[in-house]
Structure 1
Amino acid sequence: MNEPHPLVALIHAVPTAPVLAQDAFAREFPQATLWNVLDDRLLTDALAAGGLTDTLRRRMLRLIGHVLDSGAEGLLLTCSSYGEVVDTARNLWGVPILKSDEAMFRAALTGPFERIAVVASTPPAVPAAVAQLRALAPRVSPHRTAGIVTALSEEAATADQPEATARHLADALAAAGGTDADVVLLAQYSLTPAREALAALLGVPVLDGTGTAAREMRDLLTARSAGSVAPATTTS
């Protein structure tokens, strides 16, 4: 790292994401100085356009360029909808750039887990997470196959306490036959506050995107500071 408190930028598409990301970095990488950039029209405009357009991709690249050209030593893009833009950005800037959930998926695929559970409270989050897991698996763990079970609890989205959210997710996982999972992945950042309660209920590790991203960013920047030539990121 170039300084004791490396500047890490976080680009968000929803107003609740900065607090969750800041909490995760405070827990996992407190040395980092965080720079939050919010464009709360990113998802609305993508929805109105029926998906990402070239105009929206350029807009995200401008945001990425703004923070990296202004001195950020690493970047986490917390919005999964714009993850594909990261692949382009990695070819343009030589610093660690992470997609929202790839560190979580990589940790699950490279860990000692034979059965991975993915839980969510909104229907689109489940297939999106599973698709990313399956796309990443051949790259990071080509010689092993982990089973995947999914569970959806829309009641968890309206629960007013983390413990209630965790209970709804645990019930949905039991109904899906996933109580034998070795690790549980939270498919949305909004579920992060329920991580500890869900782990206590299930008795297995529960991974969230923000926490694993913060740990991976810490490790990547530490390696760069030590002069390691390991790649800054891997694509998914």
Structure 2
Amino acid sequence: MNQPHPLVAMIHAVPAAHRIAHEAFTREFPQATVWNVLDDRLLDDARAAGGLTDALRRRMLRLIAHVMDSGAQALLLTCSSYGEVVDTARVLWDVPVLKSDESMFKAALLSPYRRIAVVASTPPAVPAAVAQLEALVPAVRPGRPLDIVTVLSQEAAEAADSEAAARHLADALRAAGGADVDAVLLAQYSLTPAGDALAALLGVPVWDGAGAAARELRGLLITEEHTTVAP
């Protein structure tokens, strides 16, 4: 598949993810024509139901069907809570469909890192990210050991700006004994603005899900270019 301006749809559950993902695609995959679809009740309804229900899964599949029937050549689902629906979508549609952070996880696992940190500012994000990362290890990184350091800084969620958020994340990482990690993975799109400042504080690469997804889709949809593995 090689078109000059491939149509990439993104389905969001929160407005902030729309902005962050759009900025990542502008930076990493400017050739793409980006189509943003927002359902800002997805997370609230999932929380109220105590998790994903069959009705919520069908609702997400209807959103995916809408963009696919309208010509989307790829899809990024930016809400990790609905990531399992991607597995169904891949059976139903023959175009690239990505979960929010899987490109970041795969690229990090393919890199020579031996110790990585997964950082977040909300408690549910850490176990969800680690579960996805560990599930990919057997297929992507068989026989290569990986040490994962998990870090939670709720102060980062309340920080006044991205630089302050980065300082809170760096402090939490050092307190957790993770000062010697080879790379840091941001477990939430909302932390992406703090990425550059955090990399400067720690002196290691900092990966974000939206940027990695944009690079992977660029490599898949623009055949004369190749996806890079550096963040």
TM-score, structure 1 as length reference: 0.93
| Distance (Å, rounded) in 2 between the aligned partners of 1:24 and 1:160 | 22
Contact 1:2 1:225 in 2 (8 A): no
| Distance (Å, rounded) in 1 between the aligned partners of 2:138 and 2:224 | 26
Query: 1:55: which partner in 2?
Result: 55
Query: 1:233: which partner in 2?
Result: none
Change (3 A) 1:186 1:225: closer
Name the SS for the 1:16 alignment partner.
Answer: helix
Deviation at 1:2?
A: 5.2
Aligned-pair Cα RMSD in Å: 1.4
Map residues 113-192 of structure 1 onto 2, 5 A cutoff. 113-192=113-192
Query: 1:14: which partner in 2?
Result: 14
1:186-221 Cα shifts (integer Å, max 9, x gaps): 010000000000001101000000100110111111
Deviation at 1:225?
A: 9.9
1:88 aligns with 2:88: yes
| Distance (Å, rounded) in 2 between the aligned partners of 1:56 and 1:153 | 30
1:8-34 Cα shifts (integer Å, max 9, x gaps): 000000011111001000110000000
1:67-122 Cα shifts (integer Å, max 9, x gaps): 01110100000000000000000001000000000001111111010001011111
Deviation at 1:139?
A: 1.2
Deviation at 1:223?
A: 3.7
Change (3 A) 1:52 1:214: same
Unaligned runs of 5+ in 2: 227-231
Contact 1:13 1:38 in 2 (8 A): yes
Query: 2:199: which partner in 1?
Result: 199
| Distance (Å, rounded) in 2 between the aligned partners of 1:40 and 1:73 | 23
1:123-179 Cα shifts (integer Å, max 9, x gaps): 111111111111111111112121000111111001111111100000000000001
| Distance (Å, rounded) in 2 between the aligned partners of 1:224 and 1:11 | 27
Identity across aligned pairs (percent)? 75
Deviation at 1:222?
A: 2.2
Contact 2:159 2:165 in 1 (8 A): yes
Name the SS for the 1:178 alignment partner.
Answer: coil
Query: 1:74: which partner in 2?
Result: 74
Letter in 1 for 2:157: A
Letter in 2 for 1:101: D
Deviation at 1:4?
A: 1.1
Contact 2:109 2:141 in 1 (8 A): yes
Letter in 1 for 2:108: A
| Distance (Å, rounded) in 2 between the aligned partners of 1:33 and 1:77 | 16
| Distance (Å, rounded) in 1 between the aligned partners of 2:206 and 2:100 | 16
